[in-house]
Amino acid sequence: MRTKQIYNLPNVTDFKNQLLIWSQQFDEVIWLDSNNYEQKYSSFDAVLAVEAFTSIQTDYHQGFEKLKEYQTLVNDWIFGYLTYDLKNDVEPLESHNSDGLDFADLCFFQPKKIFIFKDNQLEIQYLNCVDDELESDFQAIETTDKAPSKTPNQDLKIKLKIHKDEYFNNVNKILNHIHRGDIYEVNFCQEFYAENTDINPLETYQKLNKISKPPFASFVKMYDKFALCASPERYIKKEGTQIISQPIKGTAKRSKNKKEDNELKTSLVNNEKERSENIMIVDLVRNDLSKTAIKGSVKVDELCKIYTFDQVHQMISTITSQVEPETHPVDILNSTFPMGSMTGAPKISAMKIIESLEASKRGLYSGAIGYFTPENDFDFNVVIRSILYNASKKYVSYSVGGAITAKSEPLKEYEECLIKAKAMRTVLEH
C-alpha cells in the first residue's frame, strides 16, 4: 500500500527545481514534465519517480513478454523506457551499428517515492513508508538550495557519424528505394557525438528544457546513464479503454518577427510534402492501432494540425481507438512499436533500410519514456530532441532525423536536421 499526502504549493516552479536537485541523490530517477503546455489529454502537469523498490532491465530478447510479466506481477506504478532496438523483439530484425551509449534495451522500475503535480497541488505517494519519512523528505526538499553549484560543460568537440556528402548519398539511395516501390517513406537519422566529455546532466537538462518548453520533457537517470529529453511528441497513451497516438511529421522553424512567424506557420499548413508525410504515418498508426482496437473504433480526431513550440512549429495528427477492458496494456505497446513517425512506411522495409544506411545504433533515441499506472493506464513520449549521456564512458550523443519521401530534396532534409539539432548543440556548447 502507498501512503499518500497532498500539499498546496505556494510556488510550483521553485519547488519543482528543488525537487529535481534533491532527487539526484538516488540511482533511479525519472522526471516527466508537460511544462504546462495546453494539452487535451494530460493526466497531470509533472511527475517524479525515484528509488527502485523492484525493477526489470533486459535486452530485446522477449523484451515485451518480460515487461508484460513484470507489469502484471507488480500491479503498481512503474516508470521506465523502451529503446528503438526492441524492434528486434517485435520483428525478425537486427541491430549491428556502433553504440557508444550502452543503454539496456528495456528498463523499468517500481518507485518507492512518487511526486505528482497538478495545478498548485502536489500529491506524494510512498511505498512502505517509515514513520515520518514522507514529511521529513518534504521539509528537506523545501530547504534544498534553489541554485546548485554551476559546473559548466567542458569544451566539447562535437563530431558527426555521417558527414554531409555521405548523408546526401544515403538520401539518394533512399529515393531510389522509393522510386522502385520498396517503401513510401523512411525516417533517416544521424548521430552527433562527443567523446571523453563530462557534462552536468541536470543542469544541461534544465537549460534544454528552458529553451524548448516541450510538453513531453523528461529527465532520466539510471545509475551512470542519462536521458535529457525535450520531446514535443507523444507516442501513445492509454486512458481507461481509450488509446491516443499523436505522431508528428512536418517541421518549420520559428521567427521572432510575428508576421514572418505566421508566414512560416501558414507555409507549413500548405506544404504538400509535409502533409503527405504526415498522412502516410497517420495511415500506418491507424493500421497499428487496429490490431488491438474494437472493430470500427479507430478514428482520426485531428489531421495535420499545427502546434507551436518555442523552437519550431510542428504538424501533428491525433488518432484514437477503443480497446476491450481486458486487453493487456503491454500488448498495445507491442503491436504499435516502434512508433511509425520514427520508422516510415511500410514499417518493416523502412526499418531494414534504416539499419543498412544509418551509422549508429539508435538505442534510446526514437524509443519511448513513460509510465504505467496501477489501473493499467500508460503514457509514453517519443525520444527525440534529446541528449543521451553515459557518464562512465564519458560519451555524449544527440541524434536528429527527418522523413524522406519521393518529394525530398537532400539539401533541404539536411538543413531540417540542423534546425532540429540547434537546441541540443546550443546547450552543450554554452
d(CA 402, CA 411): 12
pLDDT for 419? 87
Q: What percent of the chain has pLDDT over 70?
A: 99
Question: Residue 38: which pLDDT band, with cuts at 50, 70 and 90?
Answer: confident
Interhelix angle 133-142/12-23, rounded to 10 degrees, is 110
Active-site option among 233, 355, 358, 413? 233
Q: Which residues contact 20 (CB under 8 A, 6 or more apart)?
A: 31, 48, 202, 206, 219
Residue 233 annotated in active site: yes
- Say if residue 149's pLDDT is above 70: no
244 CB-side CA count, 13 A: 21
- What are the tens digits of pLDDT across the range 262-321? 999 999 999 998 899 899 999 999 999 999 999 999 999 999 999 998 888 999 999 999
Share of the chain residues as helix, strand and coil, in percent rounded to the nearest 5: 35, 35, 35
Question: Which residues make Cβ contacts (< 8 Å) with residue 201, sequence separation at least 6?
Answer: 219, 221, 226, 228, 389, 391
Which residues, in sequence order, are bridge partners of residue 151? none
The one catalytic residue in 249, 347, 361, 420 is 249
Render pLDDT for 163-209 as a digit per residue (tens, 0 to 9): 999 999 999 999 999 999 999 999 999 999 999 999 999 999 999 99
**Catalytic site includes residue 420:** no
Q: Based on DSSP, count helices (H) and strands (E) in the chain, helices before strands.
A: 11, 20
pLDDT band for 217, please (50, 70, 90 cuts).
very high
- Whether 148 shows a pLDDT value over 70: the answer reads no
217 φ, ψ (degrees, to nearest 5): -70, 150
- How far is residue 64's CA from residue 6's CA, in Å, rounded to a whole number? 35
- How far is residue 224's CA from residue 237's CA, in Å, rounded to a whole number? 28
Structural domains of the chain ordered from first start: 2-140+153-429 (3.60.120.10)
Q: What is the mean pLDDT of residues 414-429?
A: 90
- pLDDT in the model for residue 152: 66
Contact 247, 282 (CB under 8 A): yes
Q: Are 388 and 224 in contact (CB under 8 A)?
A: no
Instruction: Check residue 85 and give its pLDDT.
Output: 97
Q: Which of 173, 96, 162, 95 is nearest to 404 (CA)?
A: 173
